[in-house]
Amino acid sequence: MNSKKISALIISILFVVYTIRVVTINKNFPLPKNEYYSIGDNVPIENNFFDTSDEKMNGYSLTVLDTTLMSMDEFNEKYVNIEDAHNKPYNYVYLVRILFKNTSNNMGNKAGIDLMQYILQESAYTNLVETSYFKYLNDFDTLKFALRENSEKEVVVPFRIITMNVDINQIKNGCPTLVVSLYPSKKIINLTSNNNIRGTANEF
């Protein structure tokens, strides 16, 4: 068998192996289903998670109460004067006020909320929680926390908007959302109160 036939055979075998792997992955791990919510909705986290099912957030729920977009100058004047490389007057802070509830999770510190996973998204733009600002807005400084069963807590979650990365008008005039789980359902909260959407759809 000459080298061309051997190469063609190897390529064919690799293609078959790849196809089998893709089919197996898609069968065992179906695409997530999008679930849409709005400001004011109670959003049960249920058995959904970000990275692993061991997160065990079933029994927790959250409600986005409101949002505020502030310039860095406004933020510094109201809360604290933060001096760092991104503390520029043309940058912004997006604050999301959330009420978290634990109605039936009795796992204590073995389960709970991890705000470091939460995603602010507007079209292709994504952003994570600004950890260094969190302590100035809340009475605790850890982004991972658990609530006692049948208790609730209000939290202000900050996202720093660096205008080198995104046109601020995209945030002001677009439809920013907050992603609070990724799998098996991607739970998405619309943060634009006058553009509410609800329902479910398959992820494509």
Same domain (yes/no): 13, 41:
no
User: Number of structural domains, the chain?
Assistant: 2
Task: Write down the pTM of the prediction.
Answer: 0.79
Taking only the tens place, the pLDDT of each residue in 181-200 is: 999 999 999 999 754 444 44
Do 13 and 98 reside in the same domain of the chain? no
Q: Are residues 18 and 44 in the same domain?
A: no
Q: Which two tokens stand for residue 71?
A: 């310039």
Inside any domain, residue 134 = yes
Do 17 and 98 have their domain in common? no
HSE, side-chain direction, 13 A CA sphere, residue 70: 16
Same domain for 58 and 6? no
Does 52 fall in a domain? yes
Residue 37, classed as helix, strand or coil, is strand
Both 4 and 63 in a single domain?
no
Question: What confidence score (pLDDT) does residue 10 get?
Answer: 53
Q: Which residue has the tokens 């310039």?
A: 71
CA–CA dist 87, 79 (Å, integer): 13
Phi-psi category of residue 46: left, alpha or beta, with phi > 0 → left and psi -120 to 50 → alpha: left
**Which region, left, alpha or beta, applies to residue 66 given φ > 0 means left and ψ of -120 to 50 means alpha?**
beta
59 plus 146 within the same structural domain: yes
Give the containing element (helix H, strand E) for 137. helix 131-137
For residue range 9-49, what is the model confidence (pLDDT) as tens digits? 655 665 555 455 545 544 555 788 999 999 999 999 999 99
The CB density around residue 20, as the number of other CB atoms within 10 Å, is 10
Does 204 map to a domain?
no
62 found inside a domain: yes
- Domain residues for 23? 1-30
Which residues of the chain, if any, have pLDDT below 70?
1-29, 82-90, 194-204
Taking the C-alpha atoms of residue 168 and residue 158, their distance in angstroms, rounded to an integer, is 16
